[in-house]
Amino acid sequence: MSGLRPQPPDKVAAALEHLVQRFARMLAAVGYRSGLDDDERDALVQSVRIRLWQAAGDSGETLLSLSTSYVYQAARSAALDLLRTRRRSGAWRAEQLENVSHLTTSDDPAGQLDLDESVERIMAVLDTLAPDRRTVVKLHLAGYARREIAERLNWSEARIRNLLFRGMDDLRVALRRHGLGPPEGA
User: 21-52: per-residue pLDDT in tens?
Assistant: 888 898 988 888 877 788 888 899 998 888 88
CA atoms lying within 13 Å on the CB side of residue 19? 31
Q: How far is residue 11's CA from residue 63's CA, in Å, rounded to a whole number?
A: 10
Cβ neighbours around 103 below 10 Å, total: 13
Helix, strand, or coil (residue 108): coil
Q: Is the pLDDT of residue 152 over 60?
A: yes
Query: What percent of the chain is modeled with pLDDT above 70?
Result: 73
Question: Which of 43-47, 58-62, 123-127 is modeled with the greatest confidence?
Answer: 43-47
Cα(first)–Cα(last) distance of the chain, in Å? 82
What was the pLDDT predicted at 162? 94
- Whether the pLDDT of residue 109 is over 50: the answer is yes
pTM of the model: 0.46
Confidence band (pLDDT; 50, 70, 90) for 165?
Answer: very high
- Residues 6 or more apart whose Cβ sits within 8 Å of residue 2: none
Residues 63, 21 contacting (CB under 8 angstroms):
no
**Percentages (nearest 5) of helix, strand, coil residues in the chain:** 75, 0, 25
Nearest to 91 by CA among 83, 103, 101: 83
Q: At what angle do helices 38-56 and 11-22 cross, to 10 degrees?
A: 140
Q: Do residues 136 and 147 make contact, with C-beta atoms less than 8 angstroms apart?
A: no
Residue ranges of domains in the chain, CATH in brackets: 11-88 (no CATH), 91-177 (1.10.10.10)
- The pLDDT, as a whole number, for residue 166 is 94
